[in-house]
Amino acid sequence: MKTRILFLDDESLALQGLQRLLRNMRTSWDMAFVDSAGGALELMRHSPFDIVVTDMLMPGMNGAEFLNEVRKHYPHTIRLILSGHAEKDLIFQCIGSAHQFLAKPCQPEMLKATLARVSRLNGTLQSNEALRGFITRMDRFPSVPSLYIDLAETLLNADVSSAEVTRIVIKDPGVTAATLKMVNSAFFGGADEISDPADAISCLGLDTFKTLAFSWNAFSPFDAALFKERSLEALWHHSVDVAVAAKRIAEIEGADKKTVAGAYVAGLLHDIGKFMMTLYSSEQHREAVGLAEERKMPLRLAEQQIFGISHAETGAYLLGLWGLPTAIVEAVAWHHTPLQASSGTFSPLTAVHAANVLVPDHSGFASKGPPSDLDSSYLAQLGLTDRFEAWRGAVREEIAAPC
């Protein structure tokens, strides 16, 4: 079935340009081009769309207002902005309603690649429409309660430095993901993907980061009682440990700065799908944990039976929607099954896969089933089989030290 994409722009020349640009994609995509928000919503009432792409400044209803309507009434639809308007206040209004931000003029190949990427993501959760709707409605990922308080108090300090803020952010999966989502949008990040939270905060600037935190509530905490009740603190500690271990593995392999940063962030986010499944349905996830324990099977396979998708794919779906760097999304998606990756070189995926095997998981999720297995065929393919013991020793020293 073709992916259905709706383009909204009040300028007829812009729509004509998009039609010419995407003409050769008609065999893969069913596309509609509309010049008013009212017309777009009327079209959606008669037939659903998988993706909408909208301009920002339009008469009657602007892009932010249009996307809020789409989010409310069509939660499964992926929502993108393509605009030359970069006024921060209007961009901030779209934090919750837009999955990705692209700037005009947009390079043709970048636009096609972005649409192709989200089109592929669209099929990932076809087996569980309810979970898909939950994720596409998600406007932010909750922060660890204690870290959220620490961050808020730190940002109130007039003399706070970027380094102090980064120290907190790099331990929080939710704030890290939201920050990278924003900085990798075309309105802030430019052409290069940013994987390092420190670079992201520097690029945004502390004033903008504070505005995101306080004025636009881009970050919000988990309910503290819920966080404790569902044993999420142990899962968070495991995520931080895997991040630290993955970074160390990348460092001792002499990886470049971007790969080292990507390894850390991918490690921090590798189990974000478990957080999401617990938020979506703690009962079903407990059922998956019980099934893994009973049948002595990996948790990801038990999740496949219960949800129709594993935590790895679920987390990658969200991060892919948010436009995080490809290397991070792939590391999250395939941290248990790295041979699915096309890359034949050391990458954040390599570091996270090994780190997840080496770091004990006492979170109460994966530990009830068999432990994660090292994919020796993957390491052999990369010519890294003899490096695993060196990684084991380095990780043992790193995790034993305070984070």
Domain ranges of the chain: 3-123, 145-215, 224-400
pLDDT at site 365: 59
* pTM of the full structure: 0.91
Choice among 9-18, 94-103, 231-240 with the minimum mean pLDDT: 94-103
pLDDT of residue 402 exceeding 70: no
- What is the tens place of the pLDDT at every residue in 144-184? 999 999 999 999 999 999 999 999 999 999 999 999 999 98
Q: What percent of the chain has pLDDT over 90?
A: 73
CATH of 224-400, one of 3.90.120.10, 3.30.200.20, 1.10.540.10, 1.10.3210.10: 1.10.3210.10
For 3-123, CATH gives: 3.40.50.2300
pLDDT at site 78: 95
pLDDT at site 208: 92
pLDDT of residue 367 exceeding 50: no
Give me the residue label for tokens 């770091």: 359
**Pairwise CA distance, residues 10 & 37, whole Å:** 8
Express the helix, strand and coil content of the chain in percent, nearest 5 each. 60, 5, 35
**Pairwise CA distance, residues 81 & 87, whole Å:** 13
- 224-400 matches 3-123 in CATH topology: no
Choice among 83-97, 110-124, 193-207, 250-264 with the minimum mean pLDDT: 83-97
Choice among 19-33, 111-125, 270-284, 345-359 with the minimum mean pLDDT: 111-125
Q: What is the dihedral of CA 27, 28, 34, 40, to 10 degrees?
A: 140
For 270, phi then psi, to 5°, come to -60, -30
Choice among 28-37, 259-268, 357-366, 384-393 with the minimum mean pLDDT: 357-366
Average pLDDT over residues 202-209: 94
Q: What is the DSSP string of 292-361?
A: HHHHT--HHHHHHHHHSS-HHHHHHHHHHHTT--HHHHHHHHTSS-GGG----S--HHHHHHHHHHHS--
Average pLDDT, the chain: 91
